[in-house]
Structure 1
Amino acid sequence: MSQTPAYPMQGHASAQERFMAALASGRLHHGWIVEGPSGIGKSLFVRRLAAHILGAASPDAGLGDPVMQKVAAGSHPDLKWVTLELNEKGQLRKDISVDQVRGLNHFFSLRPGLSGWRVGVIDAIDQSNRSGMNALLKTLEEPPDRSILFLINHGSIQILPTLKSRCQTLRLSRLDDDQTSAILAAHEALDPMLVKASMGRPGYGLDILEKGGLDAIRSAQALLQSLRQPKSQTAAVALAAAGQSEAALSIFTDMVLGWVALQAETDPRYGKVWLDLHEVRAVSKELALTPIQAATKLYSVLQLGLKSNEEVS
């Protein structure tokens, strides 16, 4: 009787097949960057592969598998997962510290406890500062035997070329609507609008739901649909919804950036608009703008970018 996978996966089959072929060849590279937009399942993807390397029967093994059970419980001695930690105030730190990375380097210097392999994961490398990235180079330049390092990359910043050149890269893509819907349904998130709002990123959709952001979604979607024929009332409603809270602003901003990113896939001119919007987001935080001020500024820059692209056309 087959078990339900401990980490059921939607999509990413070709990336998994490529990795499994490398593993079967006996010439598995020691460093792998797993990159793609946030919310598409990169951490889950890596956890499946890590469990299999450490001895689980397959990436689809269930919790009846003793290795998968330890991985799921976070108790496997040969797996070290590095992510953002809490500071002394109980808040998430802004980045993964160099001390955390040094701790991972030390982990690789130890002998495996159970599996014969050591697996380290940085989740995510673009949450590490430059010093942390540099600290990884020694491990990547002189990798211990039977060790593998996964670097999860959301693509929010450029990682050091010296890191990238020492790793193989697995590029994971956004999911289609059916795959997204299946993941959301598994979490009892059944609103059809959430599927579209997720834009192939079910993790993002679940985050929206947790923040109570469906109203912000509806308003932002109406705004984006009317961008080429702007309606002042639609814009006013959307900006008012985005201005309700920091969470609503975050959802509004992510939706605008996601929409622009999708346009950039077929029209490179939108790349500059995307960069301009990211700069507005950063400046808004630095100046401590209110949510309504930040949302209004974003909308203004978006309109200017669209107008500029149309004039070039």
Structure 2
Amino acid sequence: MTNLIGHQSQISDFMAAFTGGRPHHAWLLAGQQGLGKAQFAHAAATWLLAGAPAGPNFTVPPDCEAARLMAAGSHLDFRRLERLPAKTGKLRAEIVISQIVRRDASDPQPLREFLSGTPMLGPRRVVIVDAADDMNRNTANALLKSLEEPSEDTVFLMVSHTPGRLLPTIRSRCRTLRFSRLPDADVARVLASANIDGEDPALLVHLAQGCPGRALGLAAAGITALERDLANLVGQPVERASPAALALARSVSLKGGEGRYTALLDRAPAVIAARAQQLAGHARADAITTWEQAARLAREAVPLQLDPGQVAYALGMHVASLAA
């Protein structure tokens, strides 16, 4: 059984292709980040490796060997191509060519070696590329060779948040499934099945904008407390705002504060914009100017590698400068 929520038309189209005729060997799962495309790919891969059993929504028997092996990450006919950790412990910026063709002894079995044999546990192999946008040009060209010479026993599931960035030759060899934002009710169902203790589900659904992955990321960042901190800053005099902004700066500078910092970069300009809509006259004009400054700072903070604490303090003071 799968826990996949929503995307019923995509599930139906995919299942119909494999149960009603000759299916395509490569699929491009395209749509905004956070919609659940990777979860769809994993559920589809499990269903395929289980022999594509009849039933709705990628349903497989609970005691299915393929499902157990996929849950354990040990299915011999499955491969996930994704960014790997570098020597520093952080993820590499890209999916590199050595993951397709062995050039680096530190990499696991390259994809071409995995594809060179025959499936070991069933009639089919499945490869998920998550995300295809992370491949550099050399990696994409190396993968293209496998897509151009498809094997009947291999299915590629290519997750892409920005398919326009992919090589046209890769897009042309894939059947595209487009994913849209989920209704709020489906986002709420995703949240209900997750551990979001201490967070406001209604706030998360509102901020998710149809992307359950966004809601879960905001929950992990402690968005409920952050929203409260930003709301309390609005209209505060400098002598009270400065200590509060310093506390905000410290919270994003601590170990594990990266998620809160990312959420702050998104939410501080949004809070200012929402406040500007409630104002009129000179107060509204001032708020719009403040929003422009905050939005520019939030947009440039990561590319320019600005100090998170200093950025957080400045954003906090921008919020505080709004009319009460």
Alignment of 1:251-290 (within 5 A): 251-254=263-266, 283-290=300-307
Deviation at 1:188, TM superposition (A): 3.7
Deviation at 1:106, TM superposition (A): 2.5
Q: Is the 8 A contact 1:194 1:205 kept in 2?
A: yes
User: Among 297, 303, 308, which residue is 1:291 paired with?
Assistant: 308
Q: Distance in 1 between matches of 2:15 and 2:164?
A: 28
Counterpart in 1 of 2:114? 107
Task: Give the structure with higher Rg (CA).
Answer: 2
Counterpart in 2 of 1:63? 62
Counterpart in 1 of 2:218? 208
For the aligned residue pairs, the C-alpha RMSD in angstroms reads 3.3
Identity of aligned residues (%): 32
Secondary structure at the counterpart of residue 105 of structure 1: helix
Assess, with a 3 A threshold, how the Cα gap between structure 1 residues 219 and 55 changes in structure 2: closer, same or farther. Answer: same
Secondary structure at the counterpart of residue 32 of structure 1: strand
Q: Distance in 1 between matches of 2:64 and 2:179?
A: 26
Counterpart in 2 of 1:79? 78
Unmatched segments (≥5 aa) in structure 2: 102-109, 253-257, 272-293, 319-324
Assess, with a 3 A threshold, how the Cα gap between structure 1 residues 256 and 36 changes in structure 2: closer, same or farther. Answer: farther
Alignment of 1:140-159 (within 5 A): 140-155=147-162, 158-159=165-166
Aligned residue type for 1:38: Q
User: Among 15, 19, 25, which residue is 1:30 paired with?
Assistant: 25
Counterpart in 1 of 2:262? 250
Q: Is the 8 A contact 1:197 1:255 kept in 2?
A: no
Aligned residue type for 2:128: V
TM-score, with normalisation over the residues of structure 1? 0.74
Counterpart in 1 of 2:140? 133
Assess, with a 3 A threshold, how the Cα gap between structure 1 residues 91 and 116 changes in structure 2: closer, same or farther. Answer: same
Q: Distance in 2 between matches of 1:257 and 1:116?
A: 52
Counterpart in 1 of 2:89? 90
- Residue by residue, what CA displacement relative to the aligned partner does 1:127-163 show, whole Å, maximum 9, x if unpaired? 2212111111101111122211111112287111111
Q: Distance in 2 between matches of 1:293 and 1:68?
A: 47
Aligned residue type for 1:290: D
Unmatched segments (≥5 aa) in structure 1: 223-230, 260-276, 301-313
Aligned residue type for 2:306: L
